[in-house]
Amino acid sequence: MRRLSSLAAILSLCLWSGSGQAQGLIDKGFVHGWNVMVDPAFGNGCLIQTVYQDLSIVRLGYDATQNRGYFTVISKDWGQINKGETYPIEFDLDGQKFDATAIGMKTDGIPGAVVFFTDRSFVDAIAKRKVMTVYGATGQEVMAIDLAGTDKALEYARKCQDQQG
């Protein structure tokens, strides 16, 4: 099992107030199942976001204030998550497993977790895969994310970020 930190993917963890992040997102369009957006709270960092029927939200974006990327999953399937606490989680990218540490958050009362990273190759690895399955601290499957269209959406997010300066 590989660790995201072994890929130099996690620079640091910080508190993220999920309820405030959703407010003020600027929509830049819809590409292959993902919304491309700008988040003023992250220094006009661009992100891709998709919302599922059960109201789970997945975000992959850039925090321009700290020069790092982030991956967020907001889902009731996390179970008990406390804002600001750290949790060991696991990502499975088409059978390749990665351990990571996530920070708990709440968005409109729905639990979520965010992982920050600095290794841009992690984003490229996600874009080239078909499915990412995320597991919580107790090993429960939080969600399986169909990554179809992610590569094209990330291409647009990069263009969006270039436009932000």
Structure confidence by residue, pLDDT tens digits, 73-102: 999 999 999 999 999 999 999 999 999 999
Work out the pLDDT band at 142, boundaries 50, 70, 90.
very high
Contacts for 121-127 with beta carbons within 8 Å, 24 or more apart?
Answer: 121/7, 122/4, 122/7, 122/9, 122/69, 123/60, 123/69, 123/154, 125/93, 126/60, 126/71, 126/93, 126/150, 126/154, 127/151, 127/154
pLDDT digits (tens, 9 = 90+) for 94-141: 999 999 999 999 988 999 999 999 988 888 889 999 999 999 999 999
3-class secondary-structure state, position 118 = coil
Work out the pLDDT band at 11, boundaries 50, 70, 90.
very low
Region of 24 on the Ramachandran plot (φ > 0 left; ψ -120 to 50 alpha; else beta): left
- The residue with tokens 């990069």 is 158
Domain ranges of the chain: 2-164
pLDDT digits (tens, 9 = 90+) for 32-71: 999 999 999 999 999 999 999 999 999 999 999 999 999 9
Q: Are strands 2-3 and 96-107 parallel, antiparallel or unpaired?
A: parallel
The pLDDT assigned to 7 comes to 28
The pLDDT assigned to 5 comes to 31
Nearest-5° Cα angle at 89, 82 to 76? 50
CATH architecture classification, 2-164: Sandwich (2.60)
Q: What is the CA radius of gyration of the chain?
A: 14
pTM of the shown model: 0.84
3-class secondary-structure state, position 131 = strand
